[in-house]
A and B are shown apart, each in its own frame.
Chain A
Amino acid sequence: MNIMVTGSEGQLGSEFRAMACAYPQWNFFFFSHNDLDISEEVRVDEAIQKCRCDVVVNCAAFTSVDGAEADPAKSFRVNRDGAGALARCAKERGVFLVHFSTYNVFDGLSPMPYRETDKASSHGLNAQAKLAGEDLIRTIAPSFLIIRAGWLYSPFGENFVKTMLRLGRERDSLDVVSDRIGSPAYAADMVDAVLTILAKADPGKTYAATYHYANEGVCSWYDFAIAIMKLANLPCHILPIESSSFTVKGPRAFYSVLNNNSIKRDWGLDIPYWHDSLSKAVERILMLS
Chain B
Amino acid sequence: MNIMITGSEGQLGSEFRAMACAYPQWNFFFYSHQALDISEELKVDKAMRQCRCDVVLNCAAFTSVDKAESSPDLSFRVNRDGAGVLAQSARKNGALLIQFSTFGVFDGMAPRPYREDDDAEPKGFYGKAKLAGENLIRTIAPSYLIIRIGWLFSPFGENFVKKILSLGQERTSLGVVSDRVGSPVYAADLVSAVMSILVMVDLQRTYSATYHYANEGVCSWYDFAIAIMKLAKLPCRILPIESNAFPVFGPRPWYSVLNNNAIKRDWGITIPYWQDSLALAVIRMQALSL
CA A282 to CA B180, docked complex, whole Å: 27
- Number of B interface residues in the complex (CB < 8 A): 28
Task: Give the Cβ gap from A12 to chain B, nearest Cβ, in Å.
Answer: 24
Residue from B109, B223, B226, B261 within 8 A of A111 (CB atoms): B109
Q: Mark B108-147, 1 if CB is under 8 A from A, else 0.
A: 1111110000000000000000000000000000000000
- Name B217's contact: one of A216, A222, A255, A273 (CB within 8 Å): A222
- In whole angstroms, how far apart are the Cα atoms of A271 and B63 in the complex? 35
Collect the chain B residues with CB atoms within 8 Å of residue A275's CB: 226
Contact of A110 among B111, B220, B257, B275 (CB under 8 A): B111
CA distance A275 to B259 in the complex (A): 24
B220 touches A218 (CB 8 A): yes
List B residues 199-228 near A (Cβ within 8 Å).
216-220, 222-223, 226
> Which residues on A sit within 8 Å (CB–CB) of B273?
226
Provide a sorted-by-A list of 30 A–B residue pairs whose CB atoms are within 8 angstroms.
A108-B111, A111-B111, A111-B254, A111-B255, A112-B179, A112-B254, A113-B178, A178-B113, A178-B217, A178-B218, A179-B112, A179-B113, A179-B257, A181-B218, A181-B257, A216-B178, A216-B222, A217-B220, A217-B222, A217-B226, A218-B223, A219-B217, A226-B273, A240-B217, A242-B259, A242-B261, A255-B111, A255-B255, A259-B242, A261-B242
- Are A240 and B216 within 8 A (Cβ)? yes
- Produce 1/0 per residue, A203-226, CB < 8 A to B: 000000000000011111011001
Give the total of A residues in contact with B, Cβ under 8 Å: 28
Interface presence of B251 (CB below 8 A): no
Q: A216-B178, A217-B220, A226-B273 are in contact. Are A255 and B240 (CB under 8 A)?
A: no
Give the shortest distance, in Å, between A110 (CB) and chain B (any CB): 6
Cross-chain contact A179 with B219 (CB below 8 angstroms): no
Residues on B with beta carbons closer than 8 Å to the beta carbon of A217: 178, 219-220, 222-223, 226, 240
Instruction: Determine the chain A residues whose CB is within 8 A of the CB of B218 once the complex forms.
Output: 178, 181, 218-220, 223
Nearest A-chain residue to B238, judged by Cβ:
A273
Question: Which residues in B have some Cβ–Cβ distance to A below 8 Å?
Answer: 108-113, 178-181, 216-220, 222-223, 226, 240, 242, 253-255, 257, 259, 261, 273, 275
A87: which B residues are within 8 A, CB to CB?
none
B259 contacts A179, C-beta separation under 8 Å: yes
Q: Which residues of B contact A181 (CB under 8 A)?
A: 181, 218, 257
**Interface residues as binary, A87-120 with B (CB distance below 8 Å gives 1, 0 otherwise):** 0000000000000000000001111110000000
Residues of A within 8 A of B275 (CB): 226
Q: Is the CB of B226 within 8 A of A273?
A: yes
Q: How far is the CA of A273 from the CA of B108 in the complex (A)?
A: 25
State whether B112 touches A255 (Cβ < 8 A).
yes
The answer to whether B111 touches A254 (Cβ under 8 A) is yes
Contact assessment for B179 and A259 in the assembled complex, using a CB-CB cutoff below 8 Å: yes
User: For chain A residues 161-187, which have a beta carbon within 8 Å of chain B?
Assistant: 178-181
Question: In the complex, which residue of chain A has the Cβ closest to the Cβ of B230?
Answer: A275
Q: In the bound complex, how far is the Cα of B240 from the Cα of A273, in angstroms?
A: 9
Q: Are B112 and A222 in contact (CB under 8 A)?
A: no
10 more contacts with CB within 8 A, not counting A217-B219, A222-B217, A226-B275, are A111-B108, A111-B110, A113-B178, A180-B112, A218-B181, A223-B219, A226-B217, A240-B216, A242-B259, A259-B242
Q: What is the CB-to-nearest-CB distance from B272 to chain A, in angstroms, rounded to a whole number?
A: 11
Asked whether A131 is an interface residue with its Cβ less than 8 Å from the other chain, the reply is no
Contact A223 B109 (CB under 8 A): no
Judged by a CB distance under 8 angstroms, whether A146 is at the interface is no
Whether the Cβ atoms of A109 and B111 lie closer than 8 Å is yes
**Distance (Å) between the CB of B252 and the closest chain A CB?**
11
Q: Which 9 A-B pairs have the closest CB atoms?
A: A111-B255, A255-B111, A111-B254, A254-B111, A254-B112, A112-B254, A109-B111, A217-B223, A223-B217
Chain B residue nearest to A270 in the complex (CB):
B239
Q: Which residues in B have their C-beta under 8 angstroms from that of A222?
A: 216-217
A108 to B220, CA, bound (A): 17
A179 partner residues in chain B, CB cutoff 8 A: 112-113, 257, 259
Residues of A with C-beta under 8 A to B257 = 179, 181
User: Which residue of chain B is the closest to A243 with respect to CB atoms?
Assistant: B112
User: B259 — nearest CB in chain A belongs to which residue?
Assistant: A179
A48 within 8 A of B: no
In the complex formed, the residue of B with least CB distance to A226 is: B273
Inside 8 A of A178's CB, which chain B residues have their CB? Answer: 113, 216-218
Q: Which residue of A lies closest to B224 (CB)?
A: A217
